Amino acid sequence: MFVFYRCAPPQSKSFSIKCGPNVHYKVTSPAGVRSAAPYPLTPNSVLIVTMDTVSETANDSKVPAVHPIIFQASCCLGSLAEISLDVDADRDGVVEKNNPNKGSWKWGPNGHGAVLLVNCDSETTYKKTLDSEVDEINKVSDLQDMSKMILRTNGPAELPEGYKLTMHISQTTSENVRVFRPRTSNAFYGKYYIMVVGTDTLTEEVPYLGGKTELAFFVEGLRFPDKDFDGLVTINLSLLEPCGKGFPETPIFTDTVVFHISPWIMTPNTLKPVEVYVCSTNDNYTFLKSIKNLVDKCGYKLKICYEYMNRGDRWMQDELEFGYIDSPHHQFPVVLDSPRDGDLQDFPYESILGPDFGYVTRNALNEKVSSLDSFGNLEVSPPVTVNGKSYPLGRIIIGVAFPTATRGRNMTQVVQDFLWAQKVQEPIALYSDWLVVGHVDEFMTFVPAPDRKKFRLLLASPDAGYKVFKSLQKKGHGEAEMFPGLPEVISVNEILSDKKLQAENRYVQNCIDWNRDVLKKELGLDDEDIIDLPILFKVLEEKTGPRAVAYYPDMVNMIVLGDQLGIPKPFGPKVNGRCALETEVRSLLEPLGLKCTFIDDFAPYHKLLGEVHCGSNVLRERSPFRWWNLEL
C-alpha cells in the first residue's frame, strides 16, 4: 500500500490525525514505541496506514488527514493503491505476485532471483541480424526469448494529479538489457511493442491502467557475462510525487527486481547428440561417406557444409563450439564462433544462426590470434565432484603455454575472460603449447562409461604405444609393417630401433603426464578413471622450438556419439589380418559397452595435422541440471 502525501509546514512541532472509518493507522517513534496524540513531528517518526479495501476511485476514502499543531491548515493524503513489479523470482516459469526475494539474486536449489536470456538468435533467416541488435520486435515469437515482467496494480481508476509511474535503470544496465511493452494506444503507428528502457533510454513513464490490472513487460538480455559484467541486471519502478512548480518530482516508493543473465554453457561428450556437422571438400569423399554411415547408424542428423561455404577449410571443430543458454521458461543452443576466422568464418553466422539458435563471438582486436584460439583447444569435462565441491555441468578445459615459459602461444585473453565469466563451468588450463597445432583434443577426450564416475578420460600415451610394439616384436612380429599399403610403410623393428623417435616420445610422455596430474587433481580422478591409448608422436623443429605431432593417426582425436565412437584408423601392423593397434583399443574400450568404428582420415586430415574430431562437430542436448541451482 502506498500513501500519497504532501510535506508538513517547516515550523511544525507536532500533529494530529483524522481519518474515515475504513482507514486505520498507528504512529511509532524511532525506537518502535507507539506514540499518543498529539504526535511529535520528528524526522524518524513512522506513520503506518492500512485500509480494509483498496480505493476504487481517487479520493473515495480519505486516508488520515495530518494536522500540524502550529499551522491550522490540514493536508489531505489522497488515496491508497497497491502496486507491484513482479518477475519469476522463484524460477518455476510463472511470474508470481510480489515475491519478497525479487530484488536480489541467490544461487542454489533454495535460491531466488529471475533469469534472463541473451536474445542472441535471429527470428529472420534472410539478411540475418541478431535480435538483440534489432530496434523493434517484429515477430511475436521473439517474445519467447525474453523474460516476462508484470506490473500489477489494484487501486483507483487514475492517480492523483501530478503523480506518475516511471521505470528506470542505470547507465551500465542500459548496455545489458532492454525492456519492451505492448502498446496501449494507436499512437505508435504500427509498433505492437515499444521499448520502455534500454540502450540510450534510462527512464520512461509507464502507464497506470487503474483498477485491478496487469501490464506485461518483456525483458531482453543484450550481453553475456564477461570480465566487466557479472550477469546481474536491476530494473526499478518508482511512484513519483510532484513537489511544486519548478521542482522535479520525487520518488515516494520504488520497487526493484533483479535478473541474472544465463551463462553460455558447454556440453560434454556424455550428453546425447542431436546433429553432427562436417565439411565436404574436393578430397574427403571417403571420409565423408564414413561419417555419414556412422551418423545414420546412430540415428542422428547430419549437416554438411559444402565447398561454396567452407572454401576448402575443413576444420569444423576449430571454427566453432556448441553450447546453450537456459531459463525456466525457454532455452536454445548458442554457437560460439572462434576468433581464428579461417575460410569457414562465415559458416556459424550464415548457416547456423537462426530462430532459436543463437550466436556469440569474441573478437581479439588487440591480441595476436594463434592456433590455440581454435576450438579443438576448448573442451569440457562431464560432471565431477572434487574434494566435496560439485561441478554438475563439468569444467571447461583449455590449452595454454607452460606456466613458467617466457614465450609461447596462449589462447587470447578476451576468450579466456569470457569463459571464466560464465562461472558455472570453472575452467582448467592445461599445457598444450608443446604440440605443433597446440590443441587439447590431440591428447585427451572423454567417453561415457556405465560405472564409477560414468565416464573415462582417454589420454594419448607413447608408453602404451611402445608397449604394443614391443609385445609384437617379442611375439615374432617385428617385420610386421606400420602403414601397410602406404608410402610411409615401416616395420615394427625399425620403429623400435629409432633412438631419436624414442627420445622424442619420452619428452611427449612427460608433457602428457604433467597434464595427467593436473586433470587428476582438478577433476578428482583416480588412475582407474583414465585409459591410456597407444599413440606415438614425432617432434618437428619449428622456428620457435621443437613441437610434436602424431606419428600415425591420433586415435584419441575421435568423435563420440553416445556409445558409438568414430576413431581415426591408425594403419598399424597387422597380425592375422587384423590391425594390432585397433585390436588394443577395442580391448580397452569395448568392455565399457562402447562400439569402435575406425575411419580412414589419413590423406585429407592426418597429413594436414588433424583427425576425425578436428574435422567434425556435434550439437548435443542440454544438461538436465539447471545452472541457477549451482551452489557458488
* Residue given cell 603455454 in the structure block: 401
Beta bridge partners of 549: 538
Q: State how far Cα 69 lies from the chain centre.
A: 62
**Region of residue 408 (left: phi > 0; alpha: psi -120 to 50; beta: else):** left
Region class of 92: left (phi > 0), else alpha (psi between -120 and 50), else beta: alpha
- Residues 6 or more apart whose CB falls under 8 angstroms from that of 624 comprise none
Q: β-pairing, 211-221 with 147-155?
A: antiparallel
Contact 559, 575 (CB under 8 A): no
Q: Output the CA–CA distances (angstroms, integers) from residue 426 to 116, 475, 523, in the order listed.
A: 21, 47, 11
- The answer for residues whose C-beta is within 8 angstroms of residue 526's C-beta and 6 or more apart is 520
C-alpha cell at 97: 505476485
Q: Mind telling me the catalytic residues?
A: 318, 439, 441, 614
Q: Could you say which DSSP state residue 623 is in?
A: P
Amino acid residing at 379: E
Output the nine-digit C-alpha cell for 9. Answer: 509546514
- C-alpha 627/C-alpha 265 separation (Å) is 9
In single-letter form, the type of residue at position 600 comes to D
- A 10 A CB-CB count for 579 gives 19
Cα(17)–Cα(63) distance, integer angstroms: 9
DSSP labels for 474-531? HTT-TTPEESTTSTT-EEHHHHHH-HHHHHHHHHHHHHHHHHHHHHHHHHT--GGGEE
Residue 349 has what DSSP assignment? I
The 3-state DSSP class for residue 622 equals coil
